[in-house]
Structure 1
Amino acid sequence: MKNNNIKPGNLYVVATPIGNYDDISKRALLTLSKVDFLLAEDTRKTGLLLKYFNIKKKLYSYHSYNEKQSAKKFLEKIKQGYNTALVSDSGTPLINDPGYRIIKLCRKKYIKIKIIPIPGPCSAISALSVSGLPTNRFCYEGFLSSKKTKRIKRLQELKFECRTIIIYEATHRVLKCLDDIKNIFGENRYIVLAKELTKKWENIHGDNISNLIKWIKLDLNKIKGEIILIISGYKILSKTNMQLSPKIIKTLLNLKKELPIKKAINITADIYSIKRNFLYKFYIKNKY
């Protein structure tokens, strides 16, 4: 054990390749070779990466199942002066991967631990960058719930999100998720499906959701592997300089819960000075 009187070690948050080992940075390799030990989501996968680059380091398991208990234990080691690298299975740690708890502990004001990011690959950003969808504003949702009711509820909350939406999905749930999106967002919403980025079977394909589902069903191998969905944001409708904003839609839907649709449309139209006929056509088109 190191002397408790020396200053705490550093915690390095190191991004690793999402598939192609050649994507690792020189700085990441240098860091991994110099730290005292690594915290890895899966020691077997990280072990293969280290072996490829001929790096020999002690690996400790640090994943979502033991994170709560492990964070305090490894914090003590860092406080004792051990320099530590945090890595996930692939990509940038903490982006839908464990690590939040130990970072939060190290950030406490009375603990003088330096946390150093070593940037690199991130599958969500990589997919977004080649999607052809707006990148100036986007929201990251990670994995939606595996439970249909919770997934549908979240999708309903996202229906009028104007930013590009990034979602991860498991192979066995992709079609179920896309069907839910189609039913809630409408069949014309544009989606890009990115599969196995940087790997041999990489495939990036975009289309409106109806066509995308048909394309997948022609060959289910198209959804085998790591999947990212990049969904175009909600487009605010306009007609003769008139906009139908999410705020207006929300008012209409709230009124519809308590009133007949005709009356809800009339009240909403009066509140926002919108033509009733336009509001009615919007309501019918979106199948509320």
Structure 2
Amino acid sequence: MRAARLRGLSLARGPGRGVAGDWRPERGALAIQARGLAVRRGTATVLSDVDLDVRAGELLALVGPNGAGKTTLLAAACGDLPAHAGTITLGGAALSGAKTVELARRRAMLPQHTTLAFPFTVADVVAMGRAPWAGTPRQAEDTEAVADAMRQADVERFAARPFPSLSGGEQARTALARALAQRTPILLLDEPTAALDLHHQELVLGIARDRARAGDAVVAVLHDLGLAAAYADRVALLAGGRVVADGPPERVLTAGTLSGVYQHRVEVIPHPRTGVPLIVPDRPAPPDRA
């Protein structure tokens, strides 16, 4: 009875048409496509004329200053925000009119913050990610999917603890495990490393990269440009609600481009061993402490 109640939490919205059920694009195929996308929040236009392709098998990082439209773009790709103009599709199917359960079988979304009103255990929260597959043959994967997701996110030892009792970082990893347990071909992550220590930042981006290598389409909003440079296959740089640069990290994350967008001088230095761009703000020399 309890499992059925938990599954029902994710299936609250009404019916519609559009996205079909269990679907997985071939590597390199378009998973998400936006054309001329504009999104409003209230009376403010937050995104304008955005064109973006996301392909299966790649990790795309969305970067840019505060207010650039990164989270709004992710929410539009998830289907949580309607487009004011333009189109956005998942696997060629329009998001508008899609049933919630059908969308949940295509994409999993990790929001910036996860708040629960009831003291569900960590295991219960992760099990919520299996809700879209209730009543389908893939329900047989539930136990394995939940255990595997908790192992990947390093929350196994918290399985019996109430979610509200966890630290911010532990809650963030539990929410990630819920998204991983969903086992969808599209994974959308909004600032997945914001509350994490250095070790777990690397862990989470490693998971994202591994999902992309396995053939999934992964999109992550990141503020840490160094993580974007190290892990992303592509970077889309947003400013003022528009995509101002899109391509490989070494082409997008240049000193001139970043200094202009962030309005702060930035230095980009190749790592001496890997060649991956190291991105640091230009700072004055520290005072003499002698």
Q: Do they fold alike, i.e. is TM over 0.5?
A: no
Q: Relative to total residues, which structure has the larger strand share, 1 or 2?
A: 2
Q: Which has the higher contact order (CA 8 A, sep 6+)?
A: 2
TM-score (ref. length: structure 1): 0.28
